[in-house]
């Protein structure tokens, strides 16, 4: 057998299996982040014992971030992708294989998304809610082939979260991670894309779709029992700049009819990543994109 088709002994270990599945799902994760996700209650050095056999078997590689050799971001090799491709954790998603150069280019955005995931995961553990390491699924795409605009919408992530108290309730959210690398207008325009997806019904070839048909054929209903709320998580700029970008999102919600209609049915909010990490996502750190701008927790949007 070749390495690509061998069943590798290290993945039979539960923690190693979890680590490989996490790297596959998130595409890239640092050593520190793996420790925070998998075993925050154990000494940090133990995560190296999990990663060492995966690296020795050629299932993962890493790139060094910054000038120090201490910050390493891990990603799958072709052999690692072959190993995990049929795992249930992948949910039909093709695992990504990154060359070292590509990994370095993707690192900032990818790892910022993992930071946000860890904020929700830490909060869920403290609250006793149901939200696990694989409940944050990056880069979810939905096609919009006949809208006259973009042909698909790609969310930076979709997460699934169940609260335990004060009552049990299931939540889903589209997440947009903003590092202030695009214009504020371009960021706000993402709301238009989500509004189009919310209303989108594929048009059957050769016949017109009635209004009654549209309510039954909305594309998002094939994937979600309820349209996920939309959360923008901002970082990478001074607080005053991020506050202005959040205000631009609020203006888009108020001024664009399609987005206003979306906001009447779907909770929309924005928060600064550092606030999530300091105060927790369920704290009053989210600015609603419609109505009063008084901060609140994400489940209260």
pLDDT at 96 over 90: no
Q: What is the mean pLDDT of residues 47-60?
A: 93
Contact in structure between 177 and 231 (CB atoms under 8 Å)? no
How far is 301 from 230, CA to CA, in rounded Å?
Answer: 10
**Predicted confidence (pLDDT) per residue in 115-148, tens digit:** 999 999 999 999 999 999 999 999 999 988 665 5
Say which CATH class 3-98 falls into: mainly alpha
The CATH 1.10.10.10 portion of the chain extends over 3-98
Of 70, 25, 22, nearest in space to 45 by CA: 70
Q: At what angle do helices 14-26 and 46-56 cross, to 10 degrees?
A: 70
Per-residue exposure over 70-103, b if at least 16 CB sit within 10 Å of its own CB, e if not: ebbbbbbbebbbbbbeeeeebeeeebbbbeeeeb
- Which pLDDT tens digit goes with each residue over 192-239? 999 999 998 876 655 554 444 544 578 899 999 999 999 999 999 999
Extended beta strands in 164-226, E state: 169-178
Q: Is the peptide bond before 186 cis (omega within 30 degrees of 0)?
A: no
pLDDT tens digits for 150-178? 678 999 999 999 999 888 999 999 999 99
Closest among 72, 77, 49, 47 to 61, alpha carbons compared: 77
Taking each helix axis from N to C terminus, what angle separates 184-199 and 239-255, rounded to the nearest 10 degrees? 40
Residue 156 belongs to what H/E stretch?
strand 152-163
Count CB neighbours of 227 within 10 A: 19
Cβ atoms of 59 and 10 within 8 Å: the answer is yes
């Amino acid at each position: 057998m070749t390495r690509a088709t061998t069943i590798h002994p290290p993945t039979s270990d539960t923690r190693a299996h979890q680590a490989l599945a996490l790297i596959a799902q998130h595409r890239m994760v640092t050593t520190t982040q793996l420790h925070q996700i998998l075993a925050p209650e154990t000494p940090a050095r133990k995560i190296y014992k999990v990663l060492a056999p995966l690296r020795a078997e050629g299932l993962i590689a890493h790139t060094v971030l910054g000038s120090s050799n201490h910050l390493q971001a891990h990603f799958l090799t072709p052999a690692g992708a072959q190993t995990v491709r049929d795992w249930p954790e992948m949910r039909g998603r093709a695992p990504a294989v990154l060359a070292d150069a590509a990994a370095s280019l993707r690192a900032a955005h990818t790892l910022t998304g993992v930071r946000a995931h860890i904020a929700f995961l830490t909060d869920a553990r403290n609250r006793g809610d149901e939200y696990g390491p694989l409940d944050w699924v990056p880069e979810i795409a939905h096609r919009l082939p006949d809208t006259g605009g973009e042909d698909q919408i790609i969310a930076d992530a979709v997460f699934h979260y169940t609260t335990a108290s004060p009552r049990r309730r299931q939540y889903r959210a589209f997440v947009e991670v903003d590092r202030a690398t695009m214009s504020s207008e371009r960021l706000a325009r993402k709301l238009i894309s989500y509004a189009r997806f919310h209303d989108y019904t594929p048009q059957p070839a050769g016949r017109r779709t009635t209004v009654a048909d549209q309510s039954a054929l909305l594309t998002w209903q094939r994937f979600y029992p309820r349209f996920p709320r939309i959360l923008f998580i901002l970082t990478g700029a001074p607080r005053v700049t991020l506050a202005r970008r959040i205000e631009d999102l609020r203006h888009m919600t108020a001024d664009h009819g399609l987005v206003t209609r979306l906001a009447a049915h779907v909770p929309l909010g924005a928060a600064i990543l550092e606030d999530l990490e300091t105060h927790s996502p369920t704290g009053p750190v989210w600015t609603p994109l419609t109505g009063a701008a008084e901060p609140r927790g994400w489940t209260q949007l």
